[in-house]
């Protein structure tokens, strides 16, 4: 213990010392292994999976008789019925959804930043984000179907309809339903990412200055803050774009059916008993990745173009008006998005306790717990698997992320832009483009359908989100707390555990809740790696979504939505309870 002050002098207080001469050599060496281990754990499967997809796309898959490289799979792919329409649909829905979500985000901040109502709205975004995509999609379907709740509410007194109208946003040929679903889910994500980005660029100060120069609220934000904050949210936007272009579960529920968007079409080929379609599917998975790259490149080009075209406007000195119209428009759009998301969840809940509820009744003839009573045992296994995999993947990811961040503190080397890009890799590469290859590898290793394989697959997606959420609070914690503790003679691990982690309890738990929510929502990794043996609420809900009794679907989808919300509630309540006697900790670190 006596050595401790010396270590402190060496590691903590010795700011002038060259970086890298870490505190305790043993601890440093051990910690130093974590970042490469983390990268290996999550880049390895992605790269191997990509290779395992690219080779069959060029005809190489010896087990199926593909011994030499050829372009036949691509010829087969381009001759496949519906390919062109499916690709166009994917591009259109993906680009449109991202553009609308971004426009809503910008509008919301331009009109609302700094107002109290907006700060309150921020708190609503996290739970909206936590609800898995699939649950939101099923809720929207219950609301928006021609015989859905919204039509029932105005029928027949307003519409005069005796039967549901023969038209629909959902599953229609233009993918409007899918676009809407994506907007509802991705807008909260972008809003939260923008909040995080604003902290980095001292937006409030700039905004005040611009306002002082007489710029209107909206113009000030667009002209001063947006150019600063956009680079901060560029990667999240690309992630949204990649996700929207290649989503499977939402597309199956809300998207067009004949043909579907590209990713579900590829999935159909992958699971076709005609084995020659595997090569075509692998080529399709490569095409999916090319589409994403193409879309990102096009987006980047548009960014440059808009930046160039907007220059005269930026410097024209126009102050703009009060922005009242923009204000109302922002609240209207955000209100609709939020109401749709929450209304969908409400529809799930009502259907799960509905007795007979036939069109055009606006409310069930009776409410009953019969569905829950009858099918509760059906939920037990999926809930157990969801919880176990989610908790395990989250804990693992949390350990790795904390290790990486601490190593960063020790070595004083914040990771560069390259590392950030690597972190985003699982969010930018379409899942379907590497999961097939990964599946083949896992089967070979005997890891398919095992807990280990599934937890690992979830880790790929949990880890980036956890890192992105936790990095900022971790890095910005004032080091002097620890320094004082070390000076008081406590060993490193105790200081880390009792000071740093305690101070960061709230952000750590919130990051963990987000990681858990990400795991709960994973469909394709669970489907392909779980091999049907390990079923989660998400795979169960999707299996039921197209056709099973709405009461049952409502019950499963509601459970799916509630699980991450509970995690969030715990993440908020635990620090409050833990620090109930310490007023200084009440608002959290």
Partner 1 sequence: MRRCLLALTMLLLAAQPSRAEDWQATVAAARGQDVYFNAWGGDEHVNDYIAWVGQAVQDRFGIKLTHVKLGDTAEAVGRVVAEKTAGRLEGGSVDLIWINGENFAAMKEQGLLHGPFVQDLPNFQLVDTVGKPTTLVDFAVPTDGYEAPWGMAHFVFLYDSAKVPTPPRSIAELLAWAEAHPGRLTYPAPPDFIGSTFLKHLMIATIADPAILQRPVAEADFAKVTAPLWAALEQVRPALWRQGASFPASGPALHQLLDDGEVDFSMAFNPAEASSAIAAGRLPDSVRTFVPTTGSIGNTHFVAIPFNAAHQAAAKVVADFLMSPEAQLKKQDPAGWGDSTVLALDRLPAEQRAQFEALPRGVATLAPDQLKPVLPEPHPSWMTEIEAEWLRRFSS
- Our CB check for partner 1 shows the closer of 147 and 484 to be 147
- Our CB check for partner 1 shows the closer of 74 and 215 to be 74
- From residue 485, alpha-carbon distances to 7, 495, 505, 548 in Å are 13, 6, 17, 59
- Residue with the two structure tokens 């021609």: 146
Tokens of 40: 């290996």
Give the shortest CB-582-to-partner 1 separation in angstroms.
Answer: 49
Q: Is 194 exposed, middle or buried (0-12, 13-18, 19+ CB in 10 A)?
A: buried
Angle between helices 370-411 and 537-545 (to 10 degrees): 130
Contact 347, 137 (CB under 8 A): no
Give the shortest CB-176-to-partner 1 separation in angstroms.
Answer: 12
- Our CB check for partner 1 shows the closer of 408 and 448 to be 448
In sequence order, what E strands does 437-537 have? Answer: none
Q: Which residues pair with 114 in a beta bridge?
A: none
Give the shortest CB-101-to-partner 1 separation in angstroms.
Answer: 25
Query: Which residue, 525, 520, 521, 517, is CA-closest to 433?
Result: 525
Tokens of 391: 């908790």
- From residue 555, alpha-carbon distances to 139, 141, 352, 360, 536 in Å are 11, 14, 5, 22, 14
Give the shortest CB-553-to-partner 1 separation in angstroms.
Answer: 10
- Our CB check for partner 1 shows the closer of 24 and 88 to be 88
Query: Which residue, 393, 363, 386, is CA-closest to 455?
Result: 393
Give the shortest CB-551-to-partner 1 separation in angstroms.
Answer: 9
- Our CB check for partner 1 shows the closer of 96 and 552 to be 552
- Our CB check for partner 1 shows the closer of 202 and 444 to be 444
Query: Which residue, 250, 215, 225, 228, is CA-closest to 93?
Result: 250
- Our CB check for partner 1 shows the closer of 175 and 390 to be 175
Give the shortest CB-534-to-partner 1 separation in angstroms.
Answer: 10
Contact 399, 467 (CB under 8 A): no
Give the shortest CB-81-to-partner 1 separation in angstroms.
Answer: 4
- Our CB check for partner 1 shows the closer of 113 and 371 to be 371
Give the shortest CB-525-to-partner 1 separation in angstroms.
Answer: 15
Provide the greatest CA pair distance for the chain.
85
Residues ≥6 apart with Cβ < 8 Å to 588: 506, 507, 575
- Residue with the two structure tokens 């959902």: 170
In DSSP notation, 235-256 reads HHHHHHHHHHHH-SHHHHHHS-
- Our CB check for partner 1 shows the closer of 227 and 449 to be 449
Q: Which residues bind partner 1 (CB under 8 A)?
A: 61, 63-64, 81-85, 145-147, 163-164, 166-168, 171-173, 256-259, 270-275, 278, 355-356, 358-359, 375, 377-378, 439-440, 443-444, 446, 448-449, 531-533, 535, 540, 542-544, 546-550, 552
Give the shortest CB-5-to-partner 1 separation in angstroms.
Answer: 57
């Amino acid at each position: 213990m006596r050595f401790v002050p010396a270590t402190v002098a060496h590691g903590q207080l010795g700011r002038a010392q060259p970086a890298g001469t870490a505190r305790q050599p043993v601890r440093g060496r051990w910690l130093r292994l974590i970042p490469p281990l983390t990268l290996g754990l999550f880049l390895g499967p992605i790269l191997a999976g990509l290779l395992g997809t690219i080779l069959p796309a060029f005809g190489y898959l010896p087990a199926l008789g593909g011994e030499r490289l050829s372009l036949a799979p691509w010829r087969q792919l381009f001759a496949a019925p519906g390919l062109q329409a499916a690709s166009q649909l994917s591009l259109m829905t993906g680009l449109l959804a991202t553009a609308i979500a971004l426009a809503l985000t910008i509008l919301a901040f331009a009109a609302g930043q700094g107002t109290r109502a907006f700060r309150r709205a921020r708190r609503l975004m996290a739970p909206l984000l936590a609800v898995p995509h699939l649950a939101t999609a099923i809720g929207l379907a219950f609301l928006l179907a021609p015989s859905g709740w919204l039509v029932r509410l105005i029928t027949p007194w307003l519409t005069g309809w005796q039967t549901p109208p023969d038209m629909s946003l959902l599953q229609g040929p233009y993918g409007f339903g899918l676009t809407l679903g994506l907007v509802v889910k991705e807008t909260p994500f972008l809003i939260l990412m923008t909040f995080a980005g604003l902290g980095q660029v001292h937006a409030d100060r700039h905004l005040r200055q611009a306002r002082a120069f007489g710029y209107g609220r909206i113009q000030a934000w667009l002209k001063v803050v947006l150019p600063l904050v956009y680079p901060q949210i560029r990667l999240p936007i690309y992630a949204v774009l990649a996700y929207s272009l290649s989503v499977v579960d939402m597309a199956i529920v809300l998207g067009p059916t004949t043909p579907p968007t590209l990713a579900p079409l590829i999935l159909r080929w992958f699971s076709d008993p005609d084995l020659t379609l595997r090569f075509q599917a692998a080529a399709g998975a490569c095409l999916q990745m090319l589409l994403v790259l193409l879309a990102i490149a096009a987006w980047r080009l548009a960014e440059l173009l808009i930046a160039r075209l907007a220059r005269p406007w930026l410097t024209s000195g126009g102050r703009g008006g009060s922005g009242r119209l923009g204000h109302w428009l922002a609240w209207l759009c955000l209100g609709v998005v939020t109401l749709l998301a929450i209304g969908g969840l409400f529809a799930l809940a009502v259907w799960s306790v509905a007795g007979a509820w036939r069109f055009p009744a606006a409310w069930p003839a009776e409410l009953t717990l019969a569905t829950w009573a009858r099918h509760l045992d059906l939920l037990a296994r999926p809930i157990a698997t969801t919880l176990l995999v989610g908790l395990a993947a989250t804990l693992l990811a949390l350990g790795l992320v904390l290790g990486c961040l601490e190593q960063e503190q020790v070595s004083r080397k914040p990771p560069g832009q390259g590392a950030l890009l690597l972190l985003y890799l699982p969010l930018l590469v379409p899942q379907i483009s590497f999961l097939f290859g990964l599946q083949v590898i896992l089967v070979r290793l005997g890891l398919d359908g095992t807990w280990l394989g599934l937890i690992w697959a979830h880790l790929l997606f949990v880890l980036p989100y956890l890192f992105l959420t936790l990095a900022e609070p971790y890095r910005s914690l004032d080091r002097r707390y620890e320094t004082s503790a070390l000076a008081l003679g406590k060993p490193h691990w105790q200081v880390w555990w009792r000071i740093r982690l305690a101070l960061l309890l709230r952000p750590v738990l919130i990051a963990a809740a987000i990681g858990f929510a990400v795991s709960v929502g994973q469909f394709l990794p669970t489907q392909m790696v779980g091999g049907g043996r390990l079923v989660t609420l998400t795979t169960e809900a999707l299996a039921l979504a197209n056709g099973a009794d709405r009461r049952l679907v409502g019950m499963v989808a509601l459970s799916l939505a509630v699980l991450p919300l509970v995690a969030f509630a715990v993440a908020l309540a635990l620090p409050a309870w833990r620090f109930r006697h310490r007023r200084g900790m009440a608002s959290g670190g």
